Structure 1
Amino acid sequence: MTKVLVPAGPGPIDVCVRGQGRLVVMLPSLGRGAEDFDHLATAVADAGYRVACPQPRGLGAASVPEAEETLGALAADVAAVITELGESPAVIVGHAYGNRIARMTATNHPDLVESLVLLACGGFIPPTDEVAADLRLVFDPRHPPEVRLEAVGRAFFAPGNDPSPWADGWYGSLAQRQERATVSTPVDDWWEGGRAPMLAVQPADDVLAVPANADALVAAVGDRVEVVTVAGAGHALLPEQPEAVADIVIEWLRRRWAN
């Protein structure tokens, strides 16, 4: 793995790069960093691809802009990564909140995007009030760690799965900026992902991005999206079913780049 600084917008972006080959860019979940992709990125790199995992602005060397962020600005950062690495078009893998940025990138920069993999794709049909409250609790430092971990388990992990891999790695100020970027951008601006082919990887027990979101995406774009359901996983997905997710993503890449 190497780390590179990619010039973009208000300042450079810190990017972890693994492997060689066609480019795959991975975007993490709300308020979380690129480290969430360590297992998946290594597996995809070992399968023969170049994997770039940008840190969200505010983490690593990535500076925070003075102006309010929008999904369009976050997508411009992704476009800068693809352009700088010289490997377009790229496949973008977006986990949870990252799938919003992925779809915005495909909308605003279609020539840079070969296809999208949406892990736990939401943003259209909201969770219940109880689940939304647990999400807020996860980022609230006023609560003791054990209470926050219980909320992580309820909101992000399937029943019976161990939430401790995500006991930390939560960045409240990052999540707040990302939420403001979401509010500033109408869902219709990014929901259909431009013209990109999409694979929606739906956790069977996701209570944050409920499965009806994937159904709504199919209704909107038809056969431009495929849906694969992963059993025994909630919204976290990556630490819950790492091997299954890696197999699904690698199979998609091989199909997309068969020649």
Structure 2
Amino acid sequence: MKFSKGGLAAIILSVSVSGFAAAGGANITDDVVKHGSVQIEVLSQGKGPTIVMLPSLGRSVRDYDQVAQYLVADGFRVLRPEPRGVGKSKGPMENLSVHDFASDVAMVIDEKKAGPVVVVGHAWGNFAARQLAADRPDLVKGGVVAAASAGKVPPGSTEKPINAEMRKAIDGAGDLELPEAQRLQYLKEAFFAPGNDPSVWLGGWHPETHEAEGHARNTTPVDDYFAAGAAPILDLQGENDAVAPRRFSQVLKNMLGDRVTVVVLPNAGHAMAPEQPKAMADAISTFAKRVNQ
């Protein structure tokens, strides 16, 4: 179903097109895919093998604007479905599981006749990406988990994958009721490498989506999505990621073996996409070209 490109939608789309035109990333389409009580907004651009990109906790796929631009210029079609509660994406928000968010993505891939794809999940989005690969292996050629908590810790460790102090910073960064100075401090602590500008993420938070995704993470068994089916995985890590720290950097590799390729991006924290968009895109492109051979 095509939406009229009028009103605010037209403004957003026109800004997107002008921003990408110089790099060959124009002609972004903004569609809505519907099934029952769920509708998912999808940004689509480019031609070639398909890469589907899923955003971080409580955030929009617009975080990938620059990364998508580079991928389109490198010969890929990029689909970016917004999670429920963001933009024109709507649906029930109570008692959702990671399976529900993965099902929304599957609906988009089926509607767009795009599968099998390379699916990229950034931070929280990595859970939905891995769940998609587990639930619908027919749709996934490979998975990229970027700045991803594995959901488990090394054998023998008594730590949690994300400790309480870091969870406070993650949630506080997107708490719009807190003073801006406090939110900036949380952004520095949790999301950005030293020297990178955290203010670019003061906006773009969607509290209802944040809450629904947090509930899904807390109530979905890790083993439902941990192995990501049988798909090859690129574990794309930030050198300065405080949320997914270096001491846990080999969990996926050690548990899943040769299916996992680890790449570390210098001068990147948990936010990654606004910090190192070109390096992130290059790593995704290299992996996508390999699995599409």
Q: TM-score range by the shorter chain?
A: over 0.9
TM-score (norm 2): 0.84
Q: Which amino acid aligns with 2:134?
A: T
Question: Which structure 1 residue ranges, 5 or more long, are not aligned?
Answer: none
The residue correspondences of 1:232-251 to structure 2 (distance < 5 A) are: 232-251=267-286
Residue in structure 2 matching 1:170, options 199, 202, 205? 205
The answer to whether the 8 Å contact 1:127/1:207 transfers is no
Mapped partners of 1:17, 1:214: distance in 2:
32
Q: C-alpha distance in 1, partners of 2:163/2:185?
A: 17
Identity across aligned pairs (percent)? 40
Specify which of 114, 123, 148 is matched with residue 96 of structure 1: 123
Question: Structure 1 residues 9 and 225 mapped into 2: Cα distance closer, same or farther (>3 Å)?
Answer: farther
**Which of the residues 215, 218, 228 maps onto 2:250?**
215
Measured against aligned partners, the alpha-carbon deviations of 1:167-221 in whole angstroms (never above 9, x if no partner) come to 2111122111001111221001101111110000011111112234441111211
Q: For 2:76, which of 31, 49, 67 is the aligned residue? A: 49
Report the Cα distance in structure 1 between the residues aligned to 2:88 and 2:79, rounded to whole angstroms. 15
Q: Aligned runs of 1:42-81 on 2, under 5 Å?
A: 42-65=69-92, 67-81=94-108
Distance 1:133 1:97 in 2: 15
Is contact 1:127–1:210 with CA below 8 Å preserved after alignment? Answer: no
Is the contact between residue 14 and residue 60 of structure 1 (CA under 8 Å) also seen in structure 2? Answer: yes
For 1:218, the aligned partner's letter is: K
Q: Distance in 1 between matches of 2:38 and 2:62?
A: 21
Cα offsets for 1:64-104 (capped at 9, x unmatched): 31652111111111111111111210110110000100000
Structure 1 vs Structure 2 CA RMSD = 1.4
Q: CA deviation at 1:130?
A: 2.5
**What's the counterpart of residue 265 of structure 2?**
230
Aligned AA (1:230): L
Output the CA distance in 2 between the equivalents of 1:94 and 1:257: 18
Q: Distance in 1 between matches of 2:121 and 2:235?
A: 10
Q: What's the TM-score once normalised by structure 1's chain length?
A: 0.95
For residues 40 and 9 of structure 1, what CA distance do their matches in structure 2 show? 32
Which residue of structure 2 aligns with residue 182 of structure 1? 217
Task: Note if contact 1:203-1:231 (Cα within 8 Å) is conserved in structure 2.
Answer: yes
Q: What is the one-letter code of the residue matched to 2:251?
A: A
SS in structure 2 at match of 1:14: strand
Superposition misfits of 4+ residues, deviation over 4 angstroms: none
Structure 2 residue aligned with 1:158, among 173, 179, 193? 193
